[in-house]
Amino acid sequence: MTKIPTILAIDTSCDETSVAVIQGQKVLSNTIASQVNLHKQYGGVFPTVAKQAHQENIDPTITASLRQAKLTKKEIDYLAVTQGPGLAPALEIGIQKALSLGKNWQKKVIPVNHIEGHILSVLAQPNPIKKNFTTIKPKLPVLAVVVSGGHTEFILVEKIGTYKKLGTTIDDAAGECLDKVGRLLGLGYPAGPVVEKLAKKGDPKSFAFPLPMTTTHDYNLSFSGIKTHSRNAIDKLEKNNQLDKQAIADFCASLQFGVFRHITYKLEKLLTDQPVKELWLGGGVAANLELRKALRKVAKKYQLKLRTPYNNKLCGDNAAMIGLAAHYKINQNQELPTNIDRRPQWQIDKTYF
Ligand code: KG4
Ligand code: ZN
């Protein structure tokens, strides 16, 4: 049996400096140096601040990740790095580091699309304590739903490495919508996880939200209407001195309900037209239990297996998912570019060349 290659992967696409060590689907380490506290004051990610923080964090994160994997650099067979999409100055740091390590360690560098990472994150497995580890072999075709702060997409996975984007948001991403409305409610940055927490004490039926794009025949999404509707409703509550603790909790629950209902409405439309064998959910918002519950319901109705990442670290930006995508590229002997330049707008269905 040929040895499964050990891959050291780097992701610096946005505001997390992440380094992971992967062996097949096994995550040996997945280290993240978060910049959330740095960007809080701006209410969003500030690219030049992100670049500087990546520069400071990258070497210690590599050291920590190797240590956690209990490996030395000599045991690494390949390097992998996010080439895009993402913030150009942030991507640059990871790519430069991967290329210089590749040269020093004389290892090949595999460039990876960040969205492909989010798609495949559901296949990652913890390093097994037990010996009976079996590789997950998904049934294809699969519909992958990626819901994050920068993307909300429905992607058909015909085979691993071959993707067709069937639907996408035409404006804000779902996570961005939760973050922006959460900010109006004074919930800080990023607001998504706070919205989920507060929503637990609220009534999802207390505020009505519009269901967007019901008359279009495509599978695209739009969250700007929900955002505008929220702004008007919050203004009204503030004017009437009604934005108390319970009203905020009710608003969070209703907002979540409105955002996720839009996703599942379009998802069902798609699944009716496009039969698949499995449903996958990835991206930062995939950590949200209400979203998982909503997708589980859809999966049950269409008799599909639903796969989600095994922990929340694998939902948000992380390098383990990048290493996993690289693993499949090595396995399939995919032709890869030698010139790895940043691709900040790289769409999932555009190839390397
Ligand atoms: O995948 P990710 O880390 O970065 C991007 O590639 O965008 O996703 C970050 C997004 C943010 O909008 C954040 O608010 C949202 O994921 N998020 C959540 C939760 N955890 C993270 N949204 C709702 N509920 C959560 N539990
Ligand atoms: Zn991401």
| Segment 142-200, tens digit of pLDDT | 999 999 999 999 999 999 999 999 999 999 999 999 999 999 999 999 999 999 999 99
pLDDT digits (tens, 9 = 90+) for 69-91: 999 999 999 999 999 999 999 99
Cα 130 to ligand 2 centroid, rounded to whole Å: 31
Residue with tokens 């999404």: 221
Burial 179-201 (b: 16+ CB within 10 A, else e): bbbbebbebebbbbbbbbebbee
SS3 state of residue 280: strand
Name the pTM for this structure.
Answer: 0.96
What Cα–Cα distance (Å) separates residue 287 from each residue in 104, 127, 152, 325? 37, 21, 14, 20
Calculate the average pLDDT of the chain. 96
> Where is pLDDT greater, at 26 or 132?
26
What pLDDT, on a 0 to 100 scale, did the predictor assign at position 350?
Answer: 92
pLDDT (average), residues 105-134: 92
Q: Is the peptide bond before 85 cis (omega within 30 degrees of 0)?
A: yes
| Ligand 1 mutation pick, 148, 152, 252, 314, max ligand atoms within 8 A of CB | 148
- 93 has a pLDDT exceeding 80: yes
pLDDT (average), residues 299-322: 98
* pLDDT-wise least confident of 123-132, 322-331, 336-345: 123-132
What pLDDT, on a 0 to 100 scale, did the predictor assign at position 162?
Answer: 96
What pLDDT, on a 0 to 100 scale, did the predictor assign at position 43?
Answer: 79
pLDDT (average), residues 273-289: 97
> Ligand 1: which residue has its CA nearest to atom 25?
193
What pLDDT, on a 0 to 100 scale, did the predictor assign at position 130?
Answer: 67
Find, among 87, 95, 153, the residue nearest to 347 by Cα. Answer: 153
SS3 state of residue 57: helix
Count of alpha carbons within 13 angstroms of residue 64, beta-carbon side: 13
pLDDT (average), residues 131-150: 93
pLDDT category, 274, cuts 50, 70, 90? very high
- 61 has a pLDDT exceeding 80: yes
What Cα–Cα distance (Å) separates residue 238 from each residue in 184, 244, 278? 11, 9, 44
d(CA 186, CA 166) in angstroms, rounded, equals 35
What pLDDT, on a 0 to 100 scale, did the predictor assign at position 16?
Answer: 93
SS3 state of residue 102: helix
Pocket lining for ligand 1, CB < 6 angstroms: 14, 148-150, 175-176, 178-179, 190, 192-193, 195-196, 283-285, 287-288, 316-317
Phi, psi torsion values for 75, nearest 5 degrees: -90, 0
Cα 147 to ligand 2 centroid, rounded to whole Å: 9
Sheet with 108-113, strands from edge to edge, namely 108-113, 78-84, 6-11, 16-23, 26-34, 125-126
Question: Where are any strands of DSSP class E within the chain?
Answer: 6-11, 16-23, 26-34, 78-84, 108-113, 125-126, 142-147, 152-159, 162-168, 278-282, 305-307
pLDDT (average), residues 202-225: 96
